[in-house]
Amino acid sequence: MSNASLLILPGDGIGPEVMTEVRKVIDWYGARRGLTFDVSEDLVGGAAYDAHGTPLTDATMAKAQEVDAVLLGAVGGPKYDVLDFSVKPERGLLRLRKEMDLYANLRPAQCFDALADFSSLKADVVGGLDIMIIRELTSGVYFGEPRGIHTEGNERVGINTQRYTESEIARVARSAFELARKRGNKVCSMEKANVMESGVLWREVVTEVHAAEYPDVELSHMYADAGAMQLTRWPKQFDVIVTDNLFGDLLSDLAAMLTGSLGMLPSASLGAPMANGRPKALYEPVHGSAPDIAGTGKANPIACILSFAMALRYSFDQGDEATRLEEAVNSVLADGLRTADLLGQEGVAPVSTAEMGDAIVAKLDASL
């Protein structure tokens, strides 16, 4: 693996704290496994706005286009609520997704054995859960035109547009089928074809791609509301779920919580292959910037560390090393280490963000 480059964008809130722990892991791979990365760091979100008056500078955007992978912490915070939409921290993230054309957002919901009791659902419903939501990330109502707030007569009207082209649907469907072949070989596609034309087209295109290219994969369809219900009733019926940008946003939060804490879940956002064969890629935890606990040492670094594991697997072809890291996480949890978000039992003292990071690095050492 030569010249692998990583751009780290810690962002806002707990982003910088959890990223500090990821840097320990990255350094470990350099020192102990010979996996060295050219790491650069830059600003995104509110941090970039404070420094430059924009949530993502053109220079940072250009750098993101050049590197092998971007690792992002989190963006946003109450301080920025008053800003105009065009410069809100979230726009920085959305610009990265859009301009890098990261159309396939992989959001695994995996229940670690040690945390099965942690879910709001019964342990037998979530124990061993391992599903993957693939959320379309660059189109749909997040980006469709027309959009905006204007005045009609004597009142204001807010408008957003759900828009999908056939090719946008087909490419994310292919991502889902490809991934399913490496897992349980099942895809469930979710939309609202009962009320939305874009949903009718979504179902048709997914069905066509399946028949033409992936007849070996088991395909089912569900309305997204029923999908939400089934995810809470019996989530283990699913393997890969593919859905649009907005439904994917909702369903992935729901799936995340099945596992006990949002602080555990990583994500990968992937686009087309670059000249070197690696996909355009951005990795980030599913959780947000959690401004209420920022700076208190309470944040759970696991989602961000597991996002780096996804980078090892999907960008750098280091599946075995990704597994090593995931097992290190599993093992600290099995030992009973818990950050504050994972505390249910009384009398168990939480470990800090840094202690969790150090414990994971110690497990990596022990794995050699």
Report in angstroms how near the CB of residue 288 gets to Mg ion at its nearest.
Answer: 8
3-state secondary structure of 331: helix
Is position 38 annotated as part of the catalytic site? no
Residues contacting residue 324 through CB under 8 Å, at least 6 positions apart: 364, 367
Is 68 noted as a catalytic residue in this protein?
no
Please give the size of the binding site for Mg ion, defined by CB under 5 A.
1
| Catalytic residue from among 249, 280, 298, 363 | 249
Query: Hey, which residues between 196 and 255 contact ligand IPM (CB under 6 A)?
Result: 249
Residue 168 touches which of Mg ion, ligand IPM, none (Cβ within 5-8 Å per kind): none
* C-beta closer to ligand IPM: residue 17 or 249: 249
Please name the helix (run of DSSP H) or strand (run of DSSP E) that holds residue 123, with its range, or none.
helix 123-126
Q: Within positions 282 to 321, which residues make up the interface with ligand IPM, using CB under 6 A? A: none
Cβ atoms 205, 170 nearer than 8 A: yes
> Quick one: 71 or 133, whose CB is closer to Mg ion?
133
| 249 near Mg ion, judged by CB under 5 A | yes
Residue 249 designated active-site: yes
DSSP β-bridge partners for residue 155:
152
CA torsion through residues 230, 236, 242, 245, sign: positive
Residue 74, Cβ density class (10 Å: 0-12 exposed, 13-18 middle, ≥19 buried) = buried
Q: Summarize the chain as % helix, strand, coil (round to 5).
A: 45, 20, 30
∠ at Cα 160 (155, 161), nearest 5°? 135
Contact at 8 Å (CB) between 260 and 115?
A: yes
Q: Are 238 and 188 in contact (CB under 8 A)?
A: yes
Q: Report how far Cα 299 is from the mean position of its chain's Cα atoms.
A: 17
Indicate if 29 belongs to the active site: no
Q: Closest separation between CB of residue 80 and ligand IPM, Å?
A: 12
Contact region for Mg ion (CB under 5 A) — 14-22, 48-56, 245-253, 301-309?
A: 245-253
Shortest approach of ligand IPM to residue 249 CB, angstroms? 5
89: left (phi over 0), alpha (psi -120 to 50) or beta: alpha
192, 280, 298, 363: which is the annotated catalytic residue? 192
**According to the binding rule CB under 6 A, does residue 93 interact with ligand IPM?**
yes
Which is closer to Mg ion, CB of 191 or CB of 249? 249
Residue 193 to residue 201: CA distance in whole angstroms:
8
Near ligand IPM by CB under 6 A: residue from 5, 20, 63, 90: 90
253 carries an active-site annotation: yes
CA distance 156 to 84: 17
Minimum distance from CB of 198 to ligand IPM (Å)?
Answer: 18
Least spacing, CB of residue 180 vs ligand IPM, in Å: 22
Decide if residue 99 touches ligand IPM (CB under 6 A).
no
Residue among 242, 252, 137, 233 at smallest CA distance from 186: 242
Tell me if 358 contacts ligand IPM by CB under 6 A: no
* Shorter beta-carbon distance to ligand IPM: residue 255 or 328: 255
Cβ at position 231, least distance to ligand IPM in Å: 16
Residue placing its CB nearer to ligand IPM in the complex, 133 or 188: 133
Output the CA angle 358-364-368, nearest 5 degrees: 145
Single out the catalytic residue among 142, 164, 283, 314: 142
Return the one option of ligand IPM, Mg ion, none that residue 321 interacts with (CB less than 5 to 8 A, by type).
none
- Torsion sign over Cα 248, 254, 256, 261: positive
Nearer to ligand IPM, 12 or 21 (CB): 12
What 8-state DSSP symbol labels residue 286? S
Nearer to ligand IPM, 50 or 90 (CB): 90
Q: Are 268 and 288 in contact (CB under 8 A)?
A: no
Residues in the interface with ligand IPM (CB under 6 A) total 3
Residues marked active site are found at 142, 192, 225, 249, 253
Contact residues: ligand IPM, CB under 6 A: 90, 93, 249
Contact residues: Mg ion, CB under 5 A: 249
